[in-house]
Amino acid sequence: MREHITTVENELESELRKGEASGPNSTSDMGLGENKIKSLRKKLDSCYEAEHVYWKQRAKVKWINDGDRNTKFFHQVASGRKQKNWISSIVVHGISVNHPKDIAIASNDFFRLSIGTHIEKLLKDIAIAFNDFFVARII
């Protein structure tokens, strides 16, 4: 499957290079029209997507086979994810914060303030809406 995709990709890339080298408006036998070049690019994009899907599926199969078995592969993936997700520093009010405890405090403060004010406003709006609803029912 992958070999076929790679072969088709190579053929399309070669044909596209030839067409682009001769110019999109060329009408000679060697030149490709603008529509043909667009079509080749679209087919090439489809091949790239198919190859991406192929490798994604292969990675899933490898994970299913080797992923949860306390193997070297598992530890490499886990370490890679930890490194990718690690926040080494943030900037708070123009000051760089690097220490993990300070990052945690700054993050908590930020979310408490942003979510807290939103929730307080939301609760006030709900109280006003309930009030208006019941006042309208009484009248």
Query: How does pLDDT run across 54-98, given as a tens digit for each residue?
Result: 888 887 777 777 766 777 877 888 889 889 989 999 999 999 999
Among the residues of the chain, which ranges form H helices? 2-22, 34-66, 72-85, 100-138
Contact assessment for residue 36 and residue 20, using Cβ atoms and an 8 Å cutoff: no
* Type of residue numbered 36: K
* Residues 51 and 34: beta-carbon distance below 8 Å: no
Predicted TM-score (pTM) of this structure: 0.39
Closest by CA position to 47, among listed 22, 21, 16: 16
Amino acid at 124: K
